[in-house]
Chains A and B, each alone.
Chain A
Amino acid sequence: MNTLVCISHVPDTTAKINFTSDGSSLDAAGVQFVINPYDEFGLTKALHLKESLGGTITVLNVGGPETEPTLRKALAIGADQAVRIDAIPSDAITVAQNIKNHISANSYDLIICGQESIDYNGQQVPAMIAALLQLPFTNACVGLNLSGSEATTKAEIDGGHATFKATLPMVIGGKKGLVEEKDLRIPNMRGIMSARSKPLKIEVAVDGVAPTKAVSFDKPVVKTAVRMIDPENVEELVRLLHEEAKAI
């Protein structure tokens, strides 16, 4: 069982997001970076599969050298080897093409991505990798069971769930449910020590012309001051929701 786990290096969920003064990019000063939470569920699922089926877990990130601590953390949690494709991940299709090239040159039974990264919220790369390789794909994947080379996946769909069957190799875009929050692992000292000697390979990216480009970033408009209502006077709330907010 050779699993590839694609991970993004993203600002911590508690981070306050600011942009550079020209609005061109994230102001990374003082921001703590972590493994994208969706990917962490996927990495943990890969560890569970390795524990029952054996095999190797490779973690992959498309990014600059500053993302290596995030890859090392994934190694400390239990991945066997890491790959960093050296490119600035500014456009989804370029990222997907680079990951596709890596997958084509290697042999994986399963490619686990998080449903989306919490920085650019594209929810594009996993489906693009699958389409480029013509592999089965389950998005919003909240369950994965393997029986030999047959995979059963469970996905969130609008208003419910769907179950699919596919033959490996396949790609999933995972989220919580794949494993539970309590299953997530924190690296221990032994893991951190062993991560230092695990292989972290740097691969050269293939340059492509990015068809999309961020022009600028802004912060959302801040709400005007909240209007407080007396708890004894919920009639006033209902009136305001109807007449002022026109929400009911």
Chain B
Amino acid sequence: MSVFVYVEDWNGAYKKSSFEAVSYARIWANSLNTSVTALTSSVVSNPSVLGEYGADHVLTFEIAKTGFGLAQQLQALIQNASGVVISGTNFGKSVAPAFTALISGALSSNTTSTPITISPLTVKRGAFSSKGIETIELSSEMPIICFVPNSIGVQEFPTACTVTETQAKGNDLLSVEEITIASGKIALPEADVVVSAGRGLKGPEHWGMIEALADVLGAATACSKPVSDIGWRPHNEHVGQTGIQVNPNLYIAIGISGAIQHLAGVSASKTIVVVNTDPEAPFFKAADYGIVGDAFQVVPKLVDTLRAFKADQ
């Protein structure tokens, strides 16, 4: 028996959520007194690094290009598992349910906790767009967990680990024509810090200072729904209930009033800073730190102060 974990790579490199997935599997495996088997792409040059986060065995194989193809491969490779962990990236979210359907299993998606009880397995997951937390029970010989990146955190469990090459068949039912990755930008779901702005900025021409603030913090930029609806910023920056849901360590909201739909997408952030001219803005109730002030004065000052702070570090 083993807890299996699919470890996603991006063009051969791991991200934080990859290691987090292994940590998750290790924590689960420890409570079951069993081992961790990681499945990962053979294009990764250093798969043994997964041992640092708790993998006992690593199986590498040429992975399929689509969620369904990989789900079929997982079905072929995962035997005698006490559980399966997949990170809730965009790709992971198409792999996990397809795999669950193929094996008629039980899946908890949007999971935000490690196991609370082991038998039966219960975990916590986000529901009602962060307005609720569900405790879900999975009745299956091989429950599947798809967790929200950055909800558990990366933990090190140095483990002696073996790497074995293998192969498995997976059928991609559609062809990949083109992949475009926005270069030089930090992807929103991966970001530790997110700087977000709303209609308080008065126009798309004022986003320079938001980008400057994001730059000094190594942050991703985001926006409110009205701003993406009127086309000041692209849709893929819209965070909120019907946009991207984020849970960074730090979320800074500039000129966003904090409508309930926006809060639903960001309230899982660990620390929230709100800058708004309106002291009655509902966002202040959901914030840790607030500044009532004009973004056009506060943001440039904040950029300068942070630059000085970073230079001292």
Contact = CB atoms under 8 A, between A and B. Distances in A.
A223 B132 contact: no
Interface residues of A, number: 82
Nearest to A132: B101
Interface residues of B, number: 95
Contact of A139 (B93, B100, B241): B93
B290 A229 contact: yes
A223 B101 contact: no
A185 B98 CA distance: 32
Interface in A1-42: 11, 13-14, 16-17, 19, 26, 37-38
A227 B128 CA distance: 27
A47 to B, nearest CB: 19
A167 to B, nearest CB: 8
Given A121-B127, A226-B274, A219 B309 contact: no
A130 interface: yes
A247 B175 contact: no
B108 A212 contact: yes
A213 B137 contact: yes
A241 B101 contact: no
Interface in B43-92: 66-68, 71, 89-91
Contacts of B297: 231
A216 B91 contact: no
A102 to B, nearest CB: 16
B288 to A, nearest CB: 6
Given A121-B126, A127-B67, A217 B106 contact: no
B44 to A, nearest CB: 16
Nearest to B304: A234
B169 interface: no
A11 B284 CA distance: 25
Interface of B: 10, 66-68, 71, 89-91, 93-94, 96-102, 104-110, 122, 125-140, 173-182, 185, 187, 189-190, 193, 217, 229, 235-236, 238, 241-243, 249-250, 259-261, 264, 267-268, 270-274, 284-294, 297-298, 301-302, 305-306, 309
Given A118-B242, A124-B96, A163-B178, 13 more contacts: A120-B134, A131-B102, A137-B98, A137-B173, A163-B179, A212-B136, A213-B136, A214-B135, A218-B135, A220-B268, A227-B290, A234-B298, A248-B309
21 contacts: A13-B241, A16-B131, A93-B106, A119-B128, A122-B109, A123-B110, A130-B68, A137-B173, A155-B90, A156-B90, A166-B175, A176-B238, A176-B243, A211-B105, A214-B135, A215-B122, A223-B285, A229-B289, A237-B289, A238-B302, A247-B270
